Amino acid sequence: MNKEDIRKAALRADLVEIRIGLAHFTSTVFQKVGTELHVVGHLIGTDRRDSLSPFGHGNDATVAVSMLLKIGSQLTSASADLITDGRHYAGSALIRQLVEVEYLAWAFEAKDEEAARWLRSSRDERRNFFAPAKIRAAAGDHFRSVDYGYHCELGGHPVPGSWALLNDDKAVAQLMLSDCLGHTGRIWDHVVGWAKSHPNGVPVLARADEMLEQYSRWKKLDLLAALPPPP
C-alpha cells in the first residue's frame, strides 16, 4: 500500500467513525472489567489471610490487573478524544503511556506473581524491575526498542519531530489512532492470557468474545490495521 492509499484510508469518514467507536468501546470495557476485577480481587483470594497483601486484598495480582485496565481505559478514551478534536500531539503523548501499559500486561501474563509484585513495589523497585527497558529485556524479542523510541520522538517528548502532529494533518492523526487501537488490542490479549490461567479471570473472559468480534471487524475493514510497525 503506497502513501496515497494510506492517506485515503486514514481520511475515509466511515473508517474514522469505526476507529473512534472502537476506542470508546474499548475504554468502556476496560473500565467495567477493571471495576469488577477490583471487587473480586479485594474479596477473593488468600493474600489477606496469609498477610501477603499490604492493602488487605484477597488477591493482589487481580487488583493489579484491574488497575492496569482502568488506567488503560482513561488513556484510550482521552487519546481518542484529543485526536478527534485536533489536539494530535497531546493524544499521541498518551499513546506512549499505553505502550507502557502493554509492557506491564505482558509481564503480568508471563508471570502472575509479577502483577502482585508490581502492586506492592516501591519506587526504586519499579525503576529496577518494571521500567520499560527492563521489561523489554525480559521479554526478549517480543518488543522492539525502536517502537518505544518512535513514540518518545513523535509524541512523548518535546522534540522537533513533533511537528508532524502540530500541523493539523488529520491523516497522521488517524494513523496515531489506529496505532492506539493496535496497542489496546494487544493489552486485551495479554489480559485474556492472564485470565485464562487465573481463578479470578471470569470478568475478563466474559467479554472476550465481544472484544474479539469488535477487533476482528476493525481489522477486516480498516486498511491501516494491516500496516507494519515503523522501520
Q: What single-letter amino acid sits at 178?
A: S
pLDDT in tens, the chain (231 residues): 788 999 999 999 999 999 999 999 999 999 999 999 999 999 999 999 999 999 999 999 999 999 999 999 999 999 999 999 999 999 988 998 999 999 999 999 998 799 999 999 999 999 988 988 899 888 887 887 667 666 666 666 677 767 778 888 999 999 999 999 999 999 999 999 999 999 999 999 999 999 999 999 999 999 999 888 765
Is residue 48 within 8 A of residue 209, CB to CB? The reply is: no
Q: How many CB atoms lie within 10 A of CB 74?
A: 14
CB within 8 A of 56, min separation 6: which ones? 42, 48
Task: Identify the pLDDT of residue 72.
Answer: 98
Q: Measured between alpha carbons, how far is 95 from 97 in angstroms, rounded to an integer?
A: 5
Angle of CA points 204, 178, 165, to nearest 5°: 130
Q: Measured between alpha carbons, how far is 99 from 143 in angstroms, rounded to an integer?
A: 10
Q: Sign of dihedral through CA atoms 6, 7, 10, 13?
A: negative
Q: Measured between alpha carbons, how far is 136 from 75 in angstroms, rounded to an integer?
A: 21
Q: Measured between alpha carbons, how far is 91 from 176 in angstroms, rounded to an integer?
A: 8
The residues spanned by each domain of the chain are: 3-226
End-to-end Cα separation, the chain, in angstroms: 15
CA nearest neighbour of 29 among 218, 208, 220: 208
Alpha-helical runs (H) found in 120-169: 123-125, 132-138, 145-151
Task: Identify the pLDDT of residue 155.
Answer: 60
CA nearest neighbour of 28 among 224, 225, 214: 214
